[in-house]
Amino acid sequence: MARIKIVNNIESPFTAEEEAARDAWEAQDKIKQQAFDDAQTKKSNDSSSGKTKLKDLGLTDDEIKALIGK
C-alpha cells in the first residue's frame, strides 16, 4: 500500500524520495528498538546472575534485598 501524506488537508502520495527516506527511518528505528530490547534483556539477565552469585556466597534473600533494594 502506498503511503500518503496530508498537507493543508490535502492527501497526496509520497514521492519516491519520501518513500526511501521513510524506509530508512523505519529501518533505523527497528535497529534502535532492537538495541534497547537487547540492553533490557542484558540488564535483567545480569541482575538474576548477580542474585544467584550472592546466594551461592551464602547470603539470604533478605540480605540481598537489603544490599540491592530488590
Taking only the tens place, the pLDDT of each residue in 15-33 is 999 999 999 999 999 999 9
Between CA 54 and CA 36 the distance in angstroms is 27
Domain ranges in the chain are 46-70
pLDDT tens per residue, range 32-49: 999 999 999 999 999 999
- pLDDT of 32 reads 98
pTM beyond 0.75, yes or no: no
Residue type, 17: E
Cell numbers placing 61: 534473600
Residue type, 21: A
